[in-house]
Amino acid sequence: CFALYSFLSEHGHDVRLIKYKPYQKDSSLKRLSKLSPQHMWAYYRYRKAQQSMQKLCGVTRDFDGFRSTYMRYTEKVYYGFDELWREDWSDYDAFVCGSDQIWSPKPDEQLNAYFLQFVPLKALRIAYAPSFGRTELPAAYQQQLHSLLRHFDAISVREADGIRFCQSAGMEAQLVCDPTLLLNPQVYKDLTGVRTRDQKAFCYLIKWDTLFPIDEVRDYITQECEGVHYFCTDGQEPYFEYEKEQSIQSWVSAIQMSAISFTNSFHGTVFSILSHTPFIAFPLVGESAAMNNRLVSLLTRLGLTDRIYKERTSIKEIASTPIDWDDVDCKLEEFRQLSENFLLEALQVQTEPCAHRICFLTHSSVHH
């Protein structure tokens, strides 16, 4: 959300992020009590893994500090759709939802929030790069999609399948880049202050089932690199020694300074591209495989699909294949300009910056 917030602010808008929590304040225990024994056990294991990792590593994340430094929020926290619905939003001219997988199938109350059903009719409603997180939608969801989209003034998505879903609902949508790509890479260099590279590898893994040949990756790092900057989400296997500081700035700076990047993360790949760090992207498998869509869409557009790892391909061979960064930058700038034009035209920005007050709704947590 930092990137979209910054882009809108740079173009003269007064931006607030809505503090939205999908559930009521007192609903945590109620929700847990309704889980099946299998889901309760899975939740317990997740929490234990999360606590073990944080205790073992003593990692510093400070996401809240980053948010409070660089972004402004609504004063109130809205618990559930009803609180959003009852609020007086008349001071705001436009509402932007996105990006991330906010439109993946979920309970109706959450869909109503992420499709901006609480917004006054006189305000602009804009979708910027949300994802459905699926290659196919449940039939019931597809049937209600038109009613969820019909009040939007402009719709964009970040995957080809998203355009197909919108068109099936009788609505037009435009393919745009992820918000992180809207900003000039210099913005991220200024954020971290990194100016030189080391000879370490960057490795960042999110705890999803992934086609990741750890032994081959380890061998490559041992032979070709001088160490590894290892970041991972809670519960992920400790393949290497963790970085003690896993803040947003340290995560971005590690990508910028590394000689090569290994990741199953979409945003890990995005920042590797922005930093001109050679990378190998490891696809998700099993139930999570549908989330590869956004990665494939971006790398296809940039001519970089050969950086996606496939079974029985060589890590060393992919790593040694040079990337034509000049060509990538040209394609990325074209995509960035198209996406920027979509957003600015949707906001009806004239030659002089206007002072729209904008509420920007996204997930309440940070995702990479």
* pLDDT tens by residue, the chain, 368 residues: 899 999 999 999 999 999 999 875 654 555 555 555 665 666 566 566 555 555 545 556 777 888 888 899 999 999 999 999 999 999 999 999 988 889 999 999 999 999 999 999 999 999 999 999 889 999 999 999 999 999 999 999 999 999 999 999 999 999 999 999 999 999 999 999 998 999 999 999 998 899 999 999 999 999 999 999 999 876 667 889 888 888 899 999 999 999 999 999 999 999 999 999 999 999 999 988 988 999 999 999 999 999 999 998 999 999 999 999 999 999 999 999 999 999 999 998 443 444 566 776 665 544 43
Q: Supply angle C-alpha 99, 105, 109, rounded to 5.
A: 90
Burial string for 265-302 (b: 16+ CB within 10 Å, else e) reads bbbbbbbbbbbebbbbbbbbeeebebbbbbbebbbebb
CA 207, 112, 154, 74 torsion-angle sign: negative
Q: Inter-axis angle of helices 160-168 and 293-301, to 10 degrees?
A: 110
Return the half-sphere exposure (C-beta side, CA atoms, 13 A cut-off) of residue 204. Answer: 25
CA distances from 358 to 1, 7, 183, 347 (A): 13, 12, 18, 10
List, as own/partner pairs, every contact residues 159-163 make where C-beta atoms lie below 8 angstroms and the sequence separation is at least 24, other chains included: 159/131, 159/132, 159/293, 159/294, 159/297, 160/293, 160/297, 161/132, 161/134, 161/135, 161/293, 162/103, 162/130, 162/131, 162/132
Contact 85, 115 (CB under 8 A): no
Cis peptide before 320 (omega within 30 of 0): no
In order of start, what are the domains of the chain with their CATH numbers?
A: 2-181+336-361 (no CATH), 185-330 (3.40.50)
